[in-house]
Structure 1
Amino acid sequence: MSQPSQAEIRNRLLRVLPKCDFALLAPHLQAMPTELRQVLITPQEPVRYLYFPESGFASITTQGSSGRVEIGLVGREGLVGASPLLLGADRTPFAHFIQGAGEVLCIDRAAFCAAVDESASLRRLLLRYVQIQLIQTAQTAFVNATYSLEVRLARWLLMCQDRTDGDELAITHEFLSLMLGAQRSSTTLAVQALEGYRLIRARRGRITVLDREALEAAADDGYGVPEAEYARLIEGA
């Protein structure tokens, strides 16, 4: 199988790598289609593969006796599975699964770790990405503790749209309530509120963003901090 060309890759993290660092990873990258709800990383099991999303996106979730809650999103801006390995661990307590089907470039753990050990610049950039993931998780905790469900929903829809092509998102109210950690009835009311403001249009299994600018205003300060840090630390590096 031919190696992927850096110019043709859609993953933003791979695209900004210096050519010498990309060359360390490229021979080991394998394209793989993904399916909705497909598990990429199982909690408390050693990470065997890492995934650079090319399209679609993955959720990072934690689960307890009261249910499952999303604590992070990873799309073509990032890498699934990097945090534990870069921080000296071999596994994570969090589940990583596909929420938007698409395609990833996967790399096995040994090849990834060998490339990181060989290049200080590659390790530095990837650790910056881990920093952004930590900021995203902290921002999620802040928003969930501070803002109404409508604001949380607006932020989440913006984050999903950032990781997709176009304005339409395939999502059910049931799954949406799971990701937001809210009752389904409350989530339905929040969707109806944003729809009433003409920010979105909801149909069975689909939500379409109608007014991106107004949706950002509805998300208030909940949206934008991790995104700004990504622009500064990754694309501005």
Structure 2
Amino acid sequence: MTLTADPSLNHLLAALPLAELGRWLPQLEWVEMPLGQVLYESGRTLGHVYFPTSAIVSLLYVMENGASAEIAVVGNEGLVGISLFMGGNSTPSRAVVQSAGAGYRLKAALMKDEFDRAGPVMHLLLRYTQALITQMAQTAVCNRHHSLDQQLCRWLLLSLDRLKSNELAMTQELIANMLGVRREGVTEAAFKLQAAGLIRYARGRITVLDRPGLEMRTCECYAVVKREYDRLLPDKLAV
């Protein structure tokens, strides 16, 4: 497919120095990312890295019995497929599109070559990896120590940060799979947030009505993750 969007809509691509961006542009492939698309499966060798521009991708850990839980979300702030340049080539997690949109992808061999140049691209990707690891660690802590409605607030805020609107197309069953809890628990938590006037949920769509209210209701985990991304990956990154 021909390039029909602006690569700078992805923050990592926008942060590339001009020389590196010029080298990447002919190799970047614009792709649609429909809801539910699996970008990679557990244990499989990755063929591409993905740079979402309007899609959100959920990184899930899947158990032997099929149960799953989300360990991180990736949107226009980053990329999917860090195991490629970290040397592992595969990962035990699964990457699934949780909010439909689009983005760019780059072949695995090209990404490895860019990282191995040991220049500004490597430093940028390592900073992003540190931020992603923080999100994974904070998610584990949050799921263990905080209430379900706090977890739902955190999840909604992280998703909103990666979208241009205040509306998410998301069923309660899908949210339950992401958070690794029963659907009934998500229903109860969503009802509490709706009763408080923070969200409106209808027909598989969640509309956030009061973002400041969500930020006040959630635990500290959201702020910890956001601060780390802002610290390591500011909008105008000098690399």
Q: Same fold (TM over 0.5)?
A: yes
TM range (shorter): over 0.9
AA aligned to 1:74 is V
AA aligned to 1:169 is L
AA aligned to 1:205 is G
Deviations 1:34-60 (A, max 9, x none): 111101111111111110001111000
State the match for 2:222 in structure 1. Answer: 223
CA distance in 2, matches of 1:226, 1:190: 22
State the match for 2:54 in structure 1. Answer: 55
AA aligned to 2:42 is P
How is 1:39-188 mapped onto 2 (pairs within 5 angstroms)? 39-64=38-63, 65=65, 67-82=67-82, 84-188=83-187
Deviations 1:98-138 (A, max 9, x none): 11111110110111111222251110110110111100000
2:143 aligns to what SS in structure 1?
Answer: helix
AA aligned to 1:27 is P
Identify unmatched segments of 5+ residues in structure 2.
none
2:88 aligns to what SS in structure 1?
Answer: coil
RMSD: 1.7
CA distance in 2, matches of 1:5, 1:146: 41
Identify unmatched segments of 5+ residues in structure 1.
none
CA distance in 2, matches of 1:145, 1:220: 12
More displaced, 144-153 or 17-26?
17-26
Deviations 1:136-192 (A, max 9, x none): 000001111110000000000011111111111000111111111111111100000
Alpha-carbon shift at residue 21 of structure 1 (Å): 2.1
CA distance in 1, matches of 2:208, 2:196: 12
Displaced runs of 4+ in structure 1, greater than 4 A? 1-6
CA distance in 1, matches of 2:51, 2:66: 31
AA aligned to 2:157 is L
CA distance in 1, matches of 2:110, 2:222: 35
| Fraction of identical pairs, as percent | 38
- Number of residue pairs aligned between Structure 1 and Structure 2: 235
Alpha-carbon shift at residue 97 of structure 1 (Å): 1.1
State the match for 2:208 in structure 1. Answer: 209
2:55 aligns to what SS in structure 1?
Answer: strand
Contact preservation (8 Å) 1:57, 1:74? yes
Contact preservation (8 Å) 2:2, 2:29? no
AA aligned to 2:71 is I
AA aligned to 2:227 is A
Contact preservation (8 Å) 1:3, 1:27? no
CA distance in 2, matches of 1:52, 1:164: 14
CA distance in 1, matches of 2:188, 2:92: 32
Contact preservation (8 Å) 2:2, 2:30? no
Contact preservation (8 Å) 2:70, 2:178? yes
1:223 aligns to what SS in structure 2?
Answer: helix
State the match for 2:27 in structure 1. Answer: 28
AA aligned to 1:147 is H
Alpha-carbon shift at residue 3 of structure 1 (Å): 6.6
Q: 1:212/1:121 Cα in 2 relative to 1: closer, same or farther (>3 Å)?
A: same
| TM-score normalised by L of structure 2 | 0.93
